[in-house]
Amino acid sequence: MELHCRTAVYCCYFVTILLVLLSITSTKAEAEEDPSSIISRFQQYLQINTAHPHPHYSQAADFILSQAQSLSLETRTLEFVQGKPLIFLKWPGSDPDLPSILLNSHTDVVTVEQEKWSHPPFGAHIDRQGNIYARGSQDMKCVGMQYLEAIRKLKASGFQPVRSVYLSFVPDEEIGGRDGAEKFAASDAFKNLNVGIVLDEGLASPNENYRMFYAERRAWPLVIRATGQPGHGAKLYDNTAMENLLRSIESVRRFRASQFDLVKAGLKAEGEVISVNMGFVMNLQPSEAEAGFDIRVPPTADPEPLERRIAEEWAPASRNMTFELRRFKQKVSLHAKFGKPVLNVTDISNPWWTLLEEAVRKANGKLGQPEIFPASTDARQFRQQGLPAIGFSPMANTPILLHDHDEFLNQDEYLKGIDVYGSIIKAYASYIDHTRKEAPRDEL
């Protein structure tokens, strides 16, 4: 009798161990989904044409909401402007009193010149090297889908966040973000999320080091106009419109060269200098000529000397010249609301920065030096609200092709980026030391 009882106990013990092992194996299998399915979902998102001037926002929104449903995430759709849906999703944390995590991405992409692509820009073609060709493969549909795939893996592994994790998919970033992130960041809906840290887009890296951005340059679109005496094309005149404009262009060229020399010499990174690029236009009337300049100013630069240079050297009234800094010029300021700096701290005093660095290394990634983003992103909208916002896109060993023909991302690099984001989200969502006691509970 005793032998039978002992045998029964051993059997039960064996069965229990077997069930545990089967459960672990099953969980691991769920977490390690077939890569072809992951890539297929990425391709589906890329195949939705959200290029300006007529982005198919509703199709993108439907796709994102279907992915959220498959992950059992809470969803909400906002339209600050009709026809431009903003989707945000919630993975609730166990402690809603802690500031939440916001993972931001934009659904729109820039226009394409289809005849200059080797593969259809919305076909998401994969070549023999595993490169996925599509507009948005780098900027930035990859990031939005990597967020979702990272959460899919974390959920399958049984991870439960302490902080709530939000994902926002916003429109119109490529045309300034005024009907998207700008309105979102200023809304009560955003305030109710109780956000503590924002992740947004970065840039591809041609080498093995991922790039991290703690600030960004601001756009100063400038138009300089010159006037002069009209007349016959065969006659010589002093101070013609074209002559005056060419003097200004030469002055701008010298300034541009001086800034570019700093980058070439390795003294400054691209995001740390003032860049000027020209687009030339001449009116039909020979008495007028104008040129447009795309100026990008880092937040570390004092804007007043540049404004004086424009007024006194590039477009002086003494040469019958005027200038216009267009209405969407963003004034450079080192401070956001409440006097907080728009430049994120990149040392141990900023736990979000160090957590990201540690999480990337845990995922076997390497990091370069902190940088100022050379262009503008939606991250500026959140920094202006006094929040830390980090620009980061896990794309190493990848040529920088955003807005270029034949934009692509290798599928292996995409899959590795999912694991990197998984490590970051896990680190952020588990962090409990950094709190804002006065902040409200997060809510969707």
Distance CA 37, CA 42 (A): 9
Is the separation of the CB atoms in 240 and 398 below 8 Å?
no
SS3 424: helix
Residue 174 annotated in ligand binding: yes
- Residues catalogued as catalytic: 108, 173
Residue 115 annotated in ligand binding: no
Distance CA 19, CA 28 (A): 14
Residue 433 annotated in ligand binding: no
Distance CA 28, CA 158 (A): 10
Residue 139 annotated in ligand binding: yes
Here the tokens at position 298 are: 């880092």
SS3 308: helix
Distance CA 374, CA 218 (A): 9
Amino acid found at 393: S
Residue 290 annotated in ligand binding: no
Nearest Cα to 377, choosing from 89, 105, 16? 105
Distance CA 187, CA 193 (A): 10
Residue 340's contacts (CB-CB under 8 Å, 6 or more residues apart) are: 386
SS3 373: strand
Here the tokens at position 61 are: 């929104």
| Known binding-site residue numbers | 106, 139, 174, 201, 403
| Known binding-site residue numbers for Zn(2+) | 106, 139, 174, 201, 403
